[in-house]
Structure 1
Amino acid sequence: MAANVAQGDALGGLDTPASTPARQQPTRRPPLDPRLLRHSRTSRVYLVVTAGSGVLGAITVIVIAAMVASILSELIVDPSARSLSQQSWHIGVLAVAVAVRVIATVIHDRYAHRASAKVIAELRCEAVDKISDPNRTSVRELSSRREHLATVLTRALEALEPYLSEFVPALILTAIVTPAVIVAIGIADIDSAVIVIITLPLIPIFMILIGKMTQDSTRLRLDAMSRLSAQLLDLVSGIPTLRALGRARRPAAKVAELGQAHRKTTMRTLRVAFLSGTVLELLATLSVALVAVTIGLRLVKGEMSLYAGVFALILAPEAYLPLRAVGTQFHNSENGLTAADDVFEIIEAPEDHTTRTRSAAIAGTAVTLLNVGVHGRDRWAPHRLNGVAAPGRLTVITGRNGCGKSTTLQAILGLIPLDEGTILLGDIPVAQFDANSLWEQVAWLPQDPVLVPGTVAQNLELLGPLSRPLAEVAAATGFDEVLDELPSGLDTVLGTGGVGMSAGQRQRLALTRTLACAAPLLLLDEPTAHLDDAHEARVLAALRARALAGDTVVVVSHRPALLTGADEIIDAGGAHVG
């Protein structure tokens, strides 16, 4: 790709909290989100394995209860059956059932954690692929949501791990073990089964009530974490500039305020979680106690056998156990599913079905703007913009701040969809161009150019080998002076975002590699913002030379020198001027 990729403003969120997108009123989600099974093959395999282990667990639970009840009832009722040889069969079956249950539980738990990590990785990769697809996520949308997306795809998505490894197995056990245990209890003692059936719905009813109360707080917690992460990311990236301006301590109060908001929302969620867990445990305990009391009274009156009483008493807690586990992990599931909602929103974003298959050469073609309009958050910028940037002429787009000049360049690149109007390259709409075919023929200099970790020479060749002599272009941009100041010249190693160079030096590096690129269409956003008058004149001469050579050169600028030297001026805040 022969275009520089825009980089976010390092100081964008230091004075105001990072915004998160407005959200609709949350609706109740199904406990097992079907989108999870649709977008992750591992989750489908995991669901089958968990269901199989649930069936095996139900069988072993019933066998264990039957063997324990048989042993106790025979030992108490029949004195002749108290020898070890007479109970050896029961003890052997009991030992095998316990061993099978322990082995199945250990294997499932090990697989559950590995599978949950793989599911999270699959969802994260799919979401990143969708975000990086310009047909699904525009540059403007990505820029406005980048902090929130970074939080969701890193820390927040990890909350799916307890949901997958703990909540989903408990949910499946509830669907398999609980009905099987109730049937087994009903065969031995119908009265105990009726009590379990009557009291069992109390747990999910209270879970639903608690869930309605906690869903909003969970969403607020995620939003607070997103704002805090965004503030810290912006602060870290902007520290060198803040220190240079003597404002390094100013954002501390805002970060502290966001940290307090995150702490409060987290403690509110935890408080509800602890209280709800106590309520659910109390309900389950009282229900089991009710079964135990009725069994004890009927045993005293001789209305049921000891075997049936012990069997029902052992199985009664097992009927409530999966639901208790669901209640215990319920808040983990809310955290995970809240993050998953955002991930699925990314993955299932509708694709732009505009045909993008044209692969035409744009050398020697004009860029025509016909009633171009892009609607931002609160207004149009630009709006009904018209103009022609012809090859062989230097075209400058000017206008007041915020009128959509940089947006116009991004629209020419096809990075931002138009809300009205058309942009033509020759006679072909930009929206129909194959993105790779277009970008290979464009050299783009944004206001915040990307510099990757590596040497200065590697960053100069980021768009490909230089097609013009470096000394000639560097002399025009003043980058030759920068090379003299660097400790190792072209071999100087830069950090992330160009750490090791000043803002002006980074801009000159990016301007140099743009002018040294052989692309026939040049789009430059404020290329002389960090240059003095002498170097500005040299850059203007270089741009005019590229235009005279037949290239199409479009520059965004307020600078009088560029406006004076332009062949064509387009006012983004008004009508066509030149």
Structure 2
Amino acid sequence: MSNENKSKPHKPDPAITAALKGWKTHSGFWLKAAVAIGLTSGLLLIAQAWLLANIVNAVVFAKAALADVMPSLWGLLALFLLRAGLAWASEQAAFHAAVQVKLAIRAQLYQKVQQLGPAWLTGERSGDLLNTLSDGVEALEAYYARYIPAMSLMALVPLAILVFVLANDWLSAVVMLVTAPLIPAFMILIGKGTEKRNQQQWQQLARMSAHFLDVIQGLTTLKLFNASRREAQVVAQISDQYRQSTMSVLRVAFLSSFVLEFFGTVSIAIIAVLIGFRLFWGELDFLYGFFVLLLAPEFYLPLRNMGTQYHARMAAIGAAEKMVGILEEKGGEEGEVMCVPELRTHSLVLQNLSFTYPDARTALTNFSLDIHPNETLAIVGASGAGKTTLINLLMGFLQPQSGQILIGDTPLTAIAPDAWRKQLAWLPQKPQLFPGTVADNIRLGNPSATLEQVQAAAEQAYAAEFIVKLPQGYDTLIGEAGQGLSGGQVQRIALARAFLKDAPLVILDEATANLDRASETLVQAGVERLAQGRTLVMIAHRLRTVQTADRIVVLDQGTVSAIGAHAELLVSSPLYQQMQAAYGGEA
């Protein structure tokens, strides 16, 4: 239960930052709008400061009456309200930009995971993957809604303010020009150490999420083996490691905020002191001095905001590492041919297939086989013989390192995945039912099917009898993973789904395993119905379920040991004889 994540090399930071920059294109015009609105607000700020400086100068030194400055006060109020509206609009635009990016990246990840297929998923921890697809994508929001606009405004607004300050007080402009680079410089120095901490924090969060899911899924086993207390200690240890990594990131974040605030405050103080002395000595007019003094905090504000939001970049880098790894994962399908040769008249030809897993475990070696139209073909062999690998190759979830699969004369790799899988119906050992009605789950085989067609498929699968006895019949809601139904009932609903799809090629992965004899008899009868007029390929451990197959392929360590009918193999295949004798009809 406490297995660690697989050790994988970290993606280089340049690759992650390049991906984050590239993903900006998904924001459309929203990100540009947020920056443009923010820049407009910054320029209005300069006008607001100039107007306020004139009002104060007129009242204090020119002894102007309230009526004299009233137009300016109304203008000041209008600028204040306008900037407040622009701030809201900029924030909304930035938020929409982040939402667009999140939607696009989540869709890309989902599409890539689908493309990589179930075979790839077996090497990933479910909790880690779910954490990446949910919290990981959400962690990008602050980067695009806060950091990117702050970075753009940091370059534009201070530059605009500096131009006006230079025109009114060159000495203050020099101070700004000298001190301004210190803030981003220290921000980058501090950030160098934060990147690794953020990545470690994200890895700890992914590990904790994956482990929690493992514990929940295995709670019954833990209870039965009195291991729940021991596992609770492991959970507490992992949680504490995450706490420590989080506190490490927060310490650096607080330190960076303090340093940036310190430099910003000291710089403003220097400008204020210089202006104060020159006002006292009469070297600077109050209007211009006060105008520059009002602008000084606003000059450093974008720089300080950038520092505040810099941790959003670190968090995004930590979260994006796993996403970039998934999106760059090699594998999946490249075929584009949409017209698949008719499987009811064309053979499936497997030519010299070889496949080795990344851990160097060889599953198939120069495997060749012709699967004839409308035949029932069974594949048997000991665990690790290559049965599941062969099925994954047939379904297109894996690609052989050598050899090819042909449908007629068309290579499987040339066929578009969706077009190929429309020709397949799959009945696994543990079918997946989804939350929804019974009819919805059967209709997965054909989303446009009518209720009458759904009922007909259920009849063929021997499922109608128990479905009509459910509280709402075909409208009965099914819980997660078929909660409330027996294993045999779940299997017959999945069989009805296969009938409804009416695909010419049916693949079964020990569809009757873990069923009682009565349920097995019904499912087996349904499978025999399903096989009529179709090509049926089945993995079997119970040899009694394959005795009626047209041919049986005996696999041994990734190669074909024997092929023939049940009666032939009992005479000609020592391995098949051993399986029959050792398991009493099960293998």
Q: Which band: TM-score by shorter chain?
A: 0.7 to 0.9
Q: What does the per-residue CA deviation read over 1:417-453, in whole Å, with 9 as the maximum and x for residues that have no partner?
A: 2222212233332222343443333221223311122
After TM superposition, the score normalised by the length of structure 1 is 0.82
Question: Which residue matches 1:165?
Answer: 145
Q: Distance in 2 between matches of 1:511 and 1:22?
A: 42
Q: What does the per-residue CA deviation read over 1:85-109, in whole Å, with 9 as the maximum and x for residues that have no partner?
A: 5545554543443333233223333
Question: Which residue matches 1:450?
Answer: 432
Give the drift of 1:35.
1.6
Q: Distance in 1 between matches of 2:398 and 2:368?
A: 17
- Does 2:6 match 1:24? no
Q: Distance in 2 between matches of 1:419 and 1:130?
A: 21
Q: Distance in 2 between matches of 1:555 and 1:152?
A: 35
Q: Distance in 1 between matches of 2:218 and 2:411?
A: 39
Q: Distance in 1 between matches of 2:492 and 2:166?
A: 82
Is the 8 Å Cα contact of residues 118 and 397 (structure 2) preserved in structure 1?
Answer: yes
Q: Distance in 2 between matches of 1:455 and 1:84?
A: 74
Q: What does the per-residue CA deviation read over 1:141-175, in whole Å, with 9 as the maximum and x for residues that have no partner?
A: 34544544422332222223333333333223212
Match for 1:523: what amino acid?
I
2:164 aligned residue (155, 174, 184) = 184
Question: Which residue matches 2:240?
Answer: 260
With over 3 angstroms needed to count, the CA separation of the structure-2 counterparts of 1:107 and 1:521, relative to structure 1, is closer
- 1:553-568 to structure 2, matched below 5 A, reads 553-562=536-545, 567-568=551-552
- 1:289-368 to structure 2, matched below 5 A, reads 289-340=269-320, 342-343=322-323, 352-368=333-349
Q: Distance in 2 between matches of 1:378 and 1:433?
A: 29
Is the 8 Å Cα contact of residues 365 and 552 (structure 1) preserved in structure 2?
Answer: no
Is the 8 Å Cα contact of residues 174 and 323 (structure 1) preserved in structure 2?
Answer: yes
Q: What does the per-residue CA deviation read over 1:110-141, in whole Å, with 9 as the maximum and x for residues that have no partner?
A: 44445534443344345434544x3xx33333
With over 3 angstroms needed to count, the CA separation of the structure-2 counterparts of 1:456 and 1:86, relative to structure 1, is closer
Question: Which residue matches 2:120?
Answer: 141
Q: Distance in 2 between matches of 1:168 and 1:534?
A: 63
SS at match of 1:81: coil
Give the drift of 1:455.
4.3
- 1:27-426 to structure 2, matched below 5 A, reads 27=14, 33-41=20-28, 45-73=29-57, 78=61, 80-88=62-70, 90-132=72-114, 134=115, 137-145=116-124, 146-237=126-217, 251-340=231-320, 342-343=322-323, 352-384=333-365, 385-391=367-373, 393-426=375-408
Q: What does the per-residue CA deviation read over 1:226-249, in whole Å, with 9 as the maximum and x for residues that have no partner?
A: 233333344445557777888777
Is the 8 Å Cα contact of residues 382 and 403 (structure 1) preserved in structure 2?
Answer: yes
- Does 2:496 match 1:523? no
Q: Distance in 1 between matches of 2:11 and 2:519?
A: 52
SS at match of 1:282: helix
Q: What does the per-residue CA deviation read over 1:456-486, in whole Å, with 9 as the maximum and x for residues that have no partner?
A: 4554454254798856754xxxx79977997
With over 3 angstroms needed to count, the CA separation of the structure-2 counterparts of 1:284 and 1:443, relative to structure 1, is same
| RCO higher in structure (CA 8 A, sep ≥6) | 1
Q: What does the per-residue CA deviation read over 1:298-318, in whole Å, with 9 as the maximum and x for residues that have no partner?
A: 334443333333222222221
With over 3 angstroms needed to count, the CA separation of the structure-2 counterparts of 1:544 and 1:572, relative to structure 1, is farther
- Number of corresponding residues: 552
SS at match of 1:382: strand
Mean alpha-carbon deviation: is it higher for 446-455 or for 144-153?
A: 144-153
Match for 1:553: what amino acid?
L
Q: What does the per-residue CA deviation read over 1:247-277, in whole Å, with 9 as the maximum and x for residues that have no partner?
A: 7777544443333333222222112111111
- 1:455-474 to structure 2, matched below 5 A, reads 455-456=437-438, 458-460=440-442, 462-464=444-446, 465=453, 473-474=461-462
SS at match of 1:443: strand
With over 3 angstroms needed to count, the CA separation of the structure-2 counterparts of 1:516 and 1:354, relative to structure 1, is closer
SS at match of 2:508: strand
Is the 8 Å Cα contact of residues 27 and 97 (structure 2) preserved in structure 1?
Answer: no
Q: What does the per-residue CA deviation read over 1:519-568, in whole Å, with 9 as the maximum and x for residues that have no partner?
A: 33221112232135677677667767766x55432222233435666522
Q: What does the per-residue CA deviation read over 1:300-352, in whole Å, with 9 as the maximum and x for residues that have no partner?
A: 44433333332222222211110101111111232235435655666677884
Q: Distance in 1 between matches of 2:337 and 2:121?
A: 20
Q: Distance in 1 between matches of 2:48 and 2:370?
A: 83
Is the 8 Å Cα contact of residues 457 and 497 (structure 2) preserved in structure 1?
Answer: no
Gaps of 5+ in 1: 1-13
Q: Distance in 2 between matches of 1:546 and 1:94?
A: 80
Give the drift of 1:406.
1.6
Give the drift of 1:285.
1.1
Q: Distance in 1 between matches of 2:349 and 2:298?
A: 73
Is the 8 Å Cα contact of residues 158 and 336 (structure 1) preserved in structure 2?
Answer: no
Gaps of 5+ in 2: 447-452, 564-587
